[in-house]
Structure 1
Amino acid sequence: MVHTRVTTSNHIVLTQEQTQTLDTKGTPSFTTSGIVNMSSKATIELTDAQQKALTKLKESMRDEIPARYDDVLLTRFLKARDFDLKKTESMVREDVLWRGNMQTDMLLTDWKVPEVLEKYWGGGMLGCDRDGRPVYFDPYGKRDIKGIMHSATGRDIMKFHLQKNEMFDQMIRANSKQQGKQVHGIILIYDMEGMEEQAFWKPGMEFGKQVLNMFQLHYPELMYKMILINCPKISGILYAAVRPFIPEKTRQKVIHLGTNFKDELLKFVPAEILPTAYGGKAENTSKIKPPDKVPASCYLKDRVISSRNLVDRVLDRGVCLEFQYEITRPGSLLYYEFKTKERDIGFGVKLLNNDGTRSTVLEKRRYHCYLGVPEDGQVLLNQPGTYVVKFDNSYSILRSKSLSYWVEVLEPLLDDEDVAFREPERDLSVFD
């Protein structure tokens, strides 16, 4: 197979008025000039057919795209669309419009991260691997996503993710020029330790899907590996929820590790930049900021986050509303959210036994969910069977209740189960 080497030599300005280069250990060092020396050129390898597709794409969009869309970036878009010219051209045009709308070129210089994200999000850059790939550590399992989303606007949270992606992208460009060869992507380490059922809060999961869609549509081929460590069994349900939105070739980049991960992690991350707690030699752990619980005092006034498409129904006085769910896979998760226009409503979950009796799974009680904030939560269903979800207005002999509700069950995937990929939606609206 014949390959063509493509070179690129654009100037790049890095964040924090620093320029990143690599030292002999493959870890980042910094100068303060603010401009990367592009005298050395990064190279990428393409087959003759791929080079022909790249040339045609550049010719068709010569006068329509900004200078940042160099050969390397356009090749990433081509790879994301399997070198289909029509699909790639459409993807690039939409990306140009989207970047203008989100003002991404200003995120590293003119946008200030909101204090609540700076203080409570957690995570940090470890450095680079020996091939120049940025390595980012995210303590996902301990993050208070519900508190974050009640304390920052969806647009700010999205911009926070975009700012990191812009930083990753510029680091890759700079390191590619420094090494004279193309650096392929970033390494993301997600520590799932401490993950609780809050991680399955429906609005948080929906927003996570939007971030995932943004990543695929506008930063194609940016991720080299995603490594999940300290994965509890419950994390499989979370992966089942997002897996349909991940292309197969991206799924192959995801590595699931349990608690015995240290030796495997060192295959991807140099010991010099990996903290000792994770099997490395780095004594300084200040690069990784731990997440923290967001105090209620940080919550935005009158901010109510709700799942979409709640079903409206009137429960007459003395009436109950029940739903039955047949669960075949242990470890399934039942999500719920509900509110009323006025006064309280009863809610609970039970397991239907073979003899017709019912065992309590979530004790029924009356919820005062008419004060503007919906009740929401998750119930872990540990055994197969028939589960009954009940909204109860039987105690009210005088008043009917206007109920808005949403209930859903998510089952874990089997080890060998395949899931079809769903194309990302173009609507990247946020919870504002």
Structure 2
Amino acid sequence: MNRNPLKTPSLQDDERFALMKFRRSVSDILKPEHDDHFLLRWLRARQWNPDNAEKMLRESMKWREKWNLDDLESWEAPAVFKDFIPHGSTGFDKDGSVVIFIPFSGIDIWGLLHSASKHDIIKNTIRVLERYMKLAYEQSKIHGPDARKFLVIFDMDNFSMKQYAYRPAAELVITAFQMYSNNYPEILKCCLIINAPKIFSFGFNIIKKFLDEYTLSKISIFKHNKHKWLPAILERVDASSLPVYFGGQQADKDGNPKCLEKICWGGKIPKQFYISEEDSYNNTSTYKTTVVKKGSKLKLHFEIEDSGVFLKWEFKTEIHDIKFGIRSVNQQTGEKVNEVALRRVPAHESEESGFITCHANHKYTVVFDNSYSYFKNKKLTYSVVVTRPLDEVEKSASKIEEKIFDQNENDISCEIKAE
């Protein structure tokens, strides 16, 4: 039965008063599609405190502007994202909500971080999420506001914690969860984590620190027992909307039960996508530490003669953020291009890393800008190098795995809450 998506939600008197106050306070930033149901997401996320909800929403609006979300579809993402970011949907649940499948073990986090910058990985995550948000909004026009929420199924089959021992990988996951928590409140209808191995609870105990109790109450974890998790799925989703692989009826035209036409399963990223972490084209791969004084800038110059090389950076600061950007000049035509837009980077919270592909006969200038700060010097530790792609960059990852995981995963004692 279709429900009226514009119907006013049923609220207690104090909740309705909080909604009225909240709407008045943020009226200057609202768009036509921001109805009561949209505003209630932020109020519920802040326990019906209009002032706290306003702060959260305004900060999120600034965040959306910073990431230029209105033009995300025009962004040309790194090619590696197309076939190696596992996710997809084969339909909707019984209430019209989008069902999202994430074959989590298909994420090659090490490969991703060596094939794209952390900034681009987060940006792509935002774009995927925004696409699902738009689909859910269209569903809500037919099935009502509850259809704006997602039912998410994480398949943890063959999951291993080993690659998350790589510090940038763990930081990336935490950054993604913080981004989600701060900017997409109350969009989760239900999360079913299936085929969870024993080691999964170790990682989940870390992640759940970034989730509130209400969100955690929507998460159900199932061990590797199809007889338990399949009924939980079928209770919410018709078999006709599920892949055969997950106990449903959908398959590709060629009979593939995994529905590869609708779900990307990811996998190990081919090494031709990698850039080097170990070999230096100009032999300047060591980290350096300096102080960028208040009101000043640090500029690093690189003259590139050959094509097919990368300008790669890693840096962090102490206590405060810093602006970072890269510009290039064509030494034949004099044309100037902002390769990486100058922006404030919270490098004191987590290490920033990334790379760009260089053009021949160009001069590149890397800028660490502290000119906006009148009172604070910034201690900066950085490595900026020009590198060539290598066939092998996994040696250091293997060393990390051997050092940290020197015992079989089955020997790690931990409990997992199972349905």
Shorter-chain TM-score category?
0.5 to 0.7
Alignment of 1:79-118 (within 5 A): 79-107=44-72, 109-118=73-82
Runs of at least 4 residues off by over 6 Å:
304-309
Corresponding position of 1:275: 243
In structure 2, C-alpha distance between the alignment counterparts of 1:376 and 1:308, rounded to whole Å = 24
SS in 1 for 2:9: strand
* TM superposition score normalised by structure 2: 0.63
Alignment of 1:17-28 (within 5 A): none
Asked whether 1:265 is paired with 2:230, we answer no
* Structure with the largest fraction of helix: 2
SS in 2 for 1:93: helix
Instruction: Give the alignment partner of residue 228 of structure 1, picking from 189, 193, 214.
Output: 193
Instruction: Give the alignment partner of residue 204 of structure 2, picking from 222, 225, 239.
Output: 239
**Alpha carbons of 1:256 and 1:303: their partners in 2 closer, same or farther (altered >3 Å)?**
farther
CA displacement, residues 249-276 of structure 1 (integer Å, 9 cap, x when unaligned)? 1111111112222222212222111111
Q: Aligned residues: percent identity?
A: 27
> What are the ranges of 5 or more consecutive residues in structure 1 without an aligned counterpart?
1-23, 27-37, 310-371, 386-410, 417-432
Shift of 1:135: 0.7
CA displacement, residues 108-139 of structure 1 (integer Å, 9 cap, x when unaligned)? x3223321011222221121112111111111
**Alpha carbons of 1:269 and 1:69: their partners in 2 closer, same or farther (altered >3 Å)?**
same
Corresponding position of 1:176: 140
In structure 2, C-alpha distance between the alignment counterparts of 1:106 and 1:308, rounded to whole Å = 30
Corresponding position of 1:121: 85
Contact 1:133/1:172 (8 A) holds in 2: yes
In structure 2, C-alpha distance between the alignment counterparts of 1:298 and 1:222, rounded to whole Å = 34
Alignment of 1:19-418 (within 5 A): 41=6, 43-107=8-72, 109-196=73-160, 197-260=162-225, 261-284=229-252, 285=259, 286-300=261-275, 301=310, 303=312, 376-377=400-401, 378-379=404-405, 381=407, 414=415
Report the residue type matching 2:405 in the other structure: V
Shift of 1:45: 2.6
In structure 2, C-alpha distance between the alignment counterparts of 1:138 and 1:288, rounded to whole Å = 8
Corresponding position of 2:369: none
Shift of 1:39: 9.4
Shift of 1:162: 0.8
In structure 2, C-alpha distance between the alignment counterparts of 1:168 and 1:302, rounded to whole Å = 33
In structure 2, C-alpha distance between the alignment counterparts of 1:112 and 1:128, rounded to whole Å = 29
**Alpha carbons of 1:273 and 1:205: their partners in 2 closer, same or farther (altered >3 Å)?**
same
Q: How well do the aligned residues superpose, as a CA RMSD in angstroms?
A: 3.1
In structure 2, C-alpha distance between the alignment counterparts of 1:86 and 1:159, rounded to whole Å = 29
Shift of 1:91: 0.4
In structure 2, C-alpha distance between the alignment counterparts of 1:153 and 1:218, rounded to whole Å = 21
**Alpha carbons of 1:39 and 1:192: their partners in 2 closer, same or farther (altered >3 Å)?**
closer
Instruction: Determine which structure has more spread, i.e. the larger CA radius of gyration.
Output: 1
Report the residue type matching 1:176 in the other structure: S
In structure 1, C-alpha distance between the alignment counterparts of 2:37 and 2:169, rounded to whole Å = 33
In structure 2, C-alpha distance between the alignment counterparts of 1:308 and 1:187, rounded to whole Å = 39
Contact 2:94/2:236 (8 A) holds in 1: no
SS in 2 for 1:46: coil
Contact 1:193/1:232 (8 A) holds in 2: yes
Contact 1:230/1:258 (8 A) holds in 2: yes
Contact 2:84/2:269 (8 A) holds in 1: yes
**Alpha carbons of 1:247 and 1:40: their partners in 2 closer, same or farther (altered >3 Å)?**
closer
CA displacement, residues 52-97 of structure 1 (integer Å, 9 cap, x when unaligned)? 1111111122224444433221110000001111111110110111
Corresponding position of 1:360: none
Shift of 1:195: 1.4
In structure 1, C-alpha distance between the alignment counterparts of 2:58 and 2:414, rounded to whole Å = 36
Contact 1:43/1:180 (8 A) holds in 2: no
In structure 2, C-alpha distance between the alignment counterparts of 1:258 and 1:281, rounded to whole Å = 23
SS in 1 for 2:236: coil
SS in 2 for 1:376: helix
* TM superposition score normalised by structure 1: 0.62
CA displacement, residues 330-380 of structure 1 (integer Å, 9 cap, x when unaligned)? xxxxxxxxxxxxxxxxxxxxxxxxxxxxxxxxxxxxxxxxxx978533315
Contact 2:97/2:146 (8 A) holds in 1: no
SS in 1 for 2:135: helix
Contact 1:240/1:412 (8 A) holds in 2: no
> What are the ranges of 5 or more consecutive residues in structure 2 without an aligned counterpart?
253-258, 276-309, 319-394
**Alpha carbons of 1:235 and 1:380: their partners in 2 closer, same or farther (altered >3 Å)?**
farther
**Alpha carbons of 1:278 and 1:414: their partners in 2 closer, same or farther (altered >3 Å)?**
closer
In structure 1, C-alpha distance between the alignment counterparts of 2:266 and 2:34, rounded to whole Å = 35
Shift of 1:101: 0.5
Report the residue type matching 1:190 in the other structure: F
In structure 1, C-alpha distance between the alignment counterparts of 2:204 and 2:266, rounded to whole Å = 21
Contact 1:189/1:228 (8 A) holds in 2: yes
